[in-house]
Amino acid sequence: MEYRRLGNTELQLSAITYGAFAIGGNMWGGNEKKDSIASIHASLDNGVTTIDTAPFYGFGLSEEMIGEALKGKDRTKVQLLTKFGLVWDGSNSGNGEYFFDAQDNGRNIPVYKYGAKANIVKELEESLRRLKTDYVDLLQLHWPDNTTPVDETMDTLNRLIQQGKIKAAGVSNYNLQQLHEAENTIGLASNQVSYSMLNRAIEKDVLPYSIERNISIIAYSPMERGLLTGKYFKDSKLKNDDHRNGYFEQFQLDKVADFLAKITPIAKGTNATLAQLVLRWTTLQKGITVVLAGARNAEQAVSNAQSMDIDITPEEMAFINKELSLIN
């Protein structure tokens, strides 16, 4: 495993970071608690020291399971990354900017983007309780909120750093203009954004700016929610309430399948799976600090961690990139 510095902070994060969206269950067709906790333990046992979650993942369930999984562990050896700014049923529901309706057990739950000061403080306290800790290493605004002044949100993050409640502050899903505006108030440690072989939009402007400003990029959906593992093309059936049924429609699936077939020999040549090859490729891209990889069981967690053991030769990298140019 490699460990990489987060922006201008002293934090060292594992290059493969445990992404805890799927274990929350909502939008992923449910989850198995025992397997989810086992996946966290397996990650820690195989060099992954960083866990990324959010209150929205399972409407608190993801954070609760992480807190349970870390019971008895040395807190100083684990970096906890969580978020704020997506609110649903409860006292803050209806505040902020309407985002979408999330589905959970047959219910449609309105979700709002809300980055006001009082909500940040409230959400953080709830996260600390669920995670069973008194601080988080990185607190991130989950999505931009156009109803709250940016300086209000960023100034609140600065105060939380001063209070010792968080070690660093970041954002998620920010474009270049939003990064500029936020940095008028705060020195951001990171920007968590979607990035994969099939989605390299940030390379146009967000990535160069982040490299220049030493803002770490935390890449999410590197495997496009399982599409790049190849399993989807092998009679994999998704549950009706799995959001990926619609998510995969944005891609030219025939071209993706053809691309995966072409790079499969590279994976086999290094005794790796397609998923491992995809993860390793992502960690090797310029400006990418850490890559989020979800796991629903211990086997997947071990596989994700071991992707860092793969060596991709310059010739293999050139071949992969050439084939990618044909579908992007």
Q: What's the distance, CA 141 to chain centroid?
A: 12
Q: Please state, rounded to an integer, the average pLDDT across all residues of the chain.
A: 91
Cβ–Cβ < 8 Å for 146, 173: no
Q: Is the pLDDT of residue 308 over 50?
A: yes
Burial degree of 237 (CB within 10 A; 0-12, 13-18, 19+) = exposed
With bands split at pLDDT 50, 70 and 90, how would you rate the model's confidence at 239?
low
Mean pLDDT of 145-152: 96
Query: DSSP per residue over 183-239, as a string?
Result: TTT----EEEEE-BTTB-GGGTTHHHHHHHHTPEEEEE-TTGGGGGGSGGGTT----
Q: Would you call 247 a catalytic residue per the annotation?
A: no
Is pLDDT of 104 > 80? no
Closest CA to 282 of 273, 270, 296, 293: 293
* pLDDT for res 209: 98
186-215: average pLDDT: 97
| Whole-number pLDDT of residue 243 | 64
Residue 231 has pLDDT above 50, yes or no: yes
pLDDT value at 92 more than 90: no
Looking at residue 229, its pLDDT comes to 84
Q: Which band of pLDDT confidence, cut at 50, 70 and 90, is reported for residue 225?
A: confident
Q: What is the rounded average pLDDT of the residues 109-129?
A: 96
Average pLDDT over residues 212-237: 85
Mean pLDDT of 37-52: 97
Torsion of CA 267, 270, 272, 277, to 10 degrees: -50
Average pLDDT over residues 159-167: 98
Q: What percent of the chain has pLDDT over 90?
A: 77
Residue of 18, 57, 220, 232 marked active site: 57
Predicted confidence at residue 328, as pLDDT, reads 72
- Given a cut of 90, whether residue 219 has pLDDT beyond it is yes
Sorted by where each starts, the structural domains of the chain and their CATH numbers stand as 3-325 (3.20.20.100)
Stretch 207-226: mean pLDDT = 95
pLDDT computed for residue 28 by the predictor = 46
pLDDT at 173 over 50: yes
Q: Averaged over 215-221, what is the pLDDT?
A: 97
